[in-house]
Homo-oligomer: A and B are copies of this chain.
Amino acid sequence: MFRTNTCGELRLANLGQKTTLAGWVQRSRKMGGMTFVDIRDRYGITQLVFNQDTNVALWEAANKLGREFVIQVTGVVAERSNKNLNIETGEIEILVSDLTVLNESKTPPFTIEDNTDGGDDIRMKYRYLDLRRNAVRYNLELRHAMAFETRRYLDKMNFLEVETPVLIGSTPEGARDFVVPSRMNPGEFYALPQSPQIFKQLLMVSGFDRYFQIVKCFRDEDLRADRQPEFTQIDCEMSFVEQEDVLQIFEGMVKHLFKYVKDIDFADAFPRMTWADAMKYYGSDKPDIRFDMKFVELKEEVSGHDFVVFDSVPYVAGICAKGCAAYTRKQIDELTEFVKRPQIGAKGLVYIRCEADGTYKSSVDKFYTNDDLKVIADKCDAKPGDLILILAGEMRKTQKALCELRLEMGARLGLRDKNVFAPLWVIDFPLFEWDEEVQRFFAMHHPFTSPKPEDIQYLDSDPGCVRANAYDMVVNGVELGGGSIRIHDSQLQNKMFELLGFTPEKAQAQFGFLMSAFQYGAPPHGGLAFGLDRFVSLFAGLDSIRDCIAFPKNNSGRDVMMDAPSVIDQSQLDELNLVIDIKN
């Protein structure tokens, strides 16, 4: 071992002790005949002292150390006169008697500090240096702890971690598969799993009873800021359970993680909200309930006042921003611009200021009397000093816009503290989602999701109203995970395929072996999957999942450090019986 202690370990209790440390030169300061060098490793930083009077040669060697040199030093632990109480080793320093340079370093292209001078591109190209920064390493330490505690909890609950294959058959699940040409089976391809969904259901058929896996999944999608072509799921499934059992077990898991990783205790049961209520009151299936500001539907109250904007639309709703009556014209204009941005898409914004004197001032004073506005304000539970913001239009689109406005107001009002966590189960999702474009129903979760038994009767007559035994775990407006009770009856499964437009042949081709498996005694089962990347981001207070992934890819799916993907040799293509043919 090149060291007797780590750079984060020594304290006043170690005074006088001889020690050997190894690590990187964080910085050095020459002050007259004394040179101070901070040596850093994963565990901390320790100050080294080199004294010209004690050993000139050693002092001169220390003066030649550059940033990020890898060094090994031996010395004695001494008390610092000038203590730094911000770091745990800040009361001691090492009086160095031996110095070995284990490796030199070129000057890094950016500073290895919490607040670095490196931009995103250069940090990604030199990711191995970026990972030296405490802020980045912390995210990965957190990730380790979360994965470990997840396993500890699930093991205790009798779940078995089973590895499912990465090279599988293509089973379209909505997104595009990555495929892998098979050399041994010319012209054929493996696919990389979008999730182990089918395998975990097979494991239930196999009687594994409780399965989990922390597993890489793959989707060849056009990437957004918080998507990666490969991502990690905590994938779980249980047999002989009803929805309530799944919610209990995994609420327990989330609480376990909060407790053992974040030291936060949730004594009470997590709140639950139906999907219908989530849409009605928050315009989202993943409401951020750190703050209230619920939607108030106002169509009835605003209608019949000759204001054509409100009269001509099916849906009018508002939110009440507490204490914002004093918003200036400029601030309200900003909000109007905010909702009119193409990605939000509202046509305009109506406001009502609830003045301190009990009167109202609105952008639609022409159409509504003070009494009319009071009716609206009362319905919104608005008090003097509050500001009501109203949007109108087609229902879903307007709910979505109002949701964004609500989140924006929450942020402006400081109601979205990253250190406050508000978990929520969203339940009773619709089984189907109507696609306007192709004019047919799609499975909202996936084709194996079980309808609520009491709603099965509407499968033919009114599929849109059929609710699923499906649930999502939402924290702070982030969907951490979701799942469902699965269909274990092959007749009902066939019915679902039919409703989803699968011909029997297509269903057979894609899911044939699963359907066969279900004929040999499938138990009732259900489960869910959490997105580990998002879960870690949430715990770390990050805006992007990229920062909690050791070697992420950029928005074009490239690893810029490794310069992957890349061209391959002609001989490899030949072996795989492939020819590249790039159209335009």
User: Which of A208, A550, A565 has the most CB atoms of chain B within a 10 A radius of its CB?
Assistant: A565
Residue A148 lies at the interface, judged by CB distance under 8 Å to chain B: yes
Q: Pick from A97-105, A316-324, A433-441 the stretch touching chain B.
A: A97-105
Q: How far is the CA of A144 from the CA of B583 in the complex (A)?
A: 47
Known: A577-B581, A580-B577, A581-B579. A132 touches B206 (CB 8 A): yes
| 0/1 string, A195-212, CB within 8 A of B gives 1 | 000010011011111000
Q: Is A226 an interface residue (CB 8 A)?
A: no
List 5 A-B pairs, Cβ < 8 Å: A128-B203, A128-B517, A166-B230, A179-B181, A185-B565
Q: Kindly specify which of A215-223, A331-339, A364-372, A450-458 makes contact with the partner chain.
A: A215-223
A463 → B minimal CB distance (Å): 25
Chain A positions 544 through 568: 1 when the CB is less than 8 Å from some CB of chain B, otherwise 0: 0000011101001111011111111
CB of A377, distance to nearest CB on chain B (Å): 48
Could you say which of A42, A127, A579 has the most chain B C-beta atoms within 10 Å of its C-beta?
A42
- Whether B566 and A577, one on each chain, are in contact in the complex, defined by CB atoms closer than 8 angstroms, is no
Query: Known contacts A103-B488, A105-B519, A148-B161; is A129 also within 8 Å of B206 by CB?
Result: yes
Beyond known contacts A22-B523, A187-B580: 12 more, CB 8 A cutoff? A42-B209, A128-B206, A129-B517, A137-B208, A141-B160, A144-B161, A166-B166, A167-B229, A169-B559, A170-B564, A182-B557, A190-B565
Stretch at the interface among A56-64, A239-247, A476-484: A239-247
Q: How far is the CB of A488 from chain B (nearest CB, A)?
A: 6
Q: State A521–B202 Cα separation when bound (angstroms).
A: 49
Q: Could you say which residues of chain B place their CB within 8 Å of the CB of A242?
A: 1-2
Residue of B nearest to A168 (CB): B564
* C-alpha spacing A550/B170, complex, angstroms: 19
Chain B residues with CB below 8 A from A579, complex form: 578-581
- Cβ of A191: which chain B residues have Cβ within 8 Å of it? 564, 568
Contact across chains for A556 and B179 when beta carbons are under 8 A apart: no
A207 in complex: contacting residue of B132, B167, B566, CB < 8 Å: B132
Interface residues of A in 93-116 (CB under 8 A from B): 102-106, 108
CB–CB B568/A184 < 8 A: no
A582 within 8 A of B: yes
